[in-house]
Structure 1
């Protein structure tokens, strides 16, 4: 796969217009992930710190179910795709942002892997991604880029369709309940672990969470996202067809509602009376 290395064609500045808070469209995420922002994204994540904080949580959950073939629908710069490849899984890495995919592909090569990358819009996922998977992972608070309920239902239905009959969807989100109800606070322990990068909401209402990302060189970027409430997300998953949904907070089984920075939903494509498949 040949990547475009002509930096003169790459966009480095975000443009939200005169009223940034009015930008509440699913399709806008492609314009938000400009080249200069993507190049700094790993400063925000801090791969080593994030790997340490989440441990083997996702790997163990997938292995416990005997999963082998994984579709990473929000691969970003490739963090989870590469971790799963190193753990021996077969991975297809998808993203709607061409800039993110190019970065992930380059990072994969640095780690000794040729990523199987696919640019795909979740709402038409099965048009671009073929075959069935044991698991779909949608991580990094990515599902909040969908701004209307029709898009969210369509994406979840596409995730459901691409899974084998006993597959699992692993989807995470910020704890927007606490942000909306009590204000923003974050331990910055589990997801955005970069010590010298600030990631905080600049504006929040029930239909928009506009986050500002400040880096050490003085640059700053924004993302407009939809603030998903936990129970709403679970209800959508159930209504689309997922019958068994388990939610944990910050990789812990037991938590107080207000405590986690992030929720992780594990939604299974099987009925409760079906025996669970456990890897031996």
Structure 2
């Protein structure tokens, strides 16, 4: 492996609990393998048009994708007729997203951002912000999480919506890991599992069978109600939480939770 393909977590990887470290985790080799993990066609089939419908029923037209990754949702939303700006903290991810968009006939409008100072780099207001792919769990302290959510809130129009997802860390912490990756990570040549979990860290291991490569991500295990409380406290009025795209679920069952948070003020009926 070249230096650009090597991750560095130091002598004790479970001690790496720093918001800014994720930019070093998405090395070129891992980014190049990311689409093997997702499998765009399978993922599109598994999640259907959930996000498209959630945005359309709120009349959203201008969307900011703050966790673009390799571009899956940015491209899907563009193809569904939305105006999309694609942002990410990883330059490597944005380069791959731009390349993927071009292959599919789209020129993505990309911008590298740090969510904590989002509005320094993103101008104007958006009908919707999407923060998907478990990306919010890269933030390791509450101050960073509150700052990012406040920046999202500020970048939205008065009636805007934030759609943010996260792994079901409640299930992982309380019951154990049993994900089948039915909806999000659809690649069949990749195994994903948490190598270490405690209240302050979920260290996931990604094994790629085709070439035997292994990569890791260190993430903060957000609990569902904690995330919802932070959203309320920064100002979001109405929050609906889905489990793997379904309104009703047992808390331990979903692989992912999806929070749909509305900024608009509604008087209680």
Q: Check if 1:113 corresponds to 2:106.
A: yes
Give the RMSD, CA atoms, in angstroms.
1.4
1:58 to 51, 56, 70: 51
Deviation at 1:273, TM superposition (A): 2.0
Deviation at 1:9, TM superposition (A): 9.2
1:138 to 127, 131, 141: 131
Deviation at 1:196, TM superposition (A): 1.6
2:40 to 30, 40, 47: 47
Q: How many residues align?
A: 268
1:136 touches 1:163 (CA, 8 Å); kept in 2? yes
What is the TM-score of this pair, normalised by structure 2? 0.98
Equivalences for 1:123-272 in 2 at 5 Å?
123-216=116-209, 217-272=211-266
Deviations 1:180-201 (A, max 9, x none): 0111010210001111201100
2:175 touches 2:252 (CA, 8 Å); kept in 1? no
What is the TM-score of this pair, normalised by structure 1? 0.94
Deviation at 1:225, TM superposition (A): 0.1
Deviation at 1:272, TM superposition (A): 2.4
Q: Distance in 1 between matches of 2:2 and 2:173?
A: 39
Q: For residues 274 and 93 of structure 1, do their structure 2 counterparts lie closer, same or farther at Cα, with a shift above 3 Å needed?
A: farther
1:102 paired residue number: 95
1:5 paired residue number: none
Q: Distance in 2 between matches of 1:168 and 1:208?
A: 29
Runs of 4+ in 1 over 3 A off after TM superposition: none
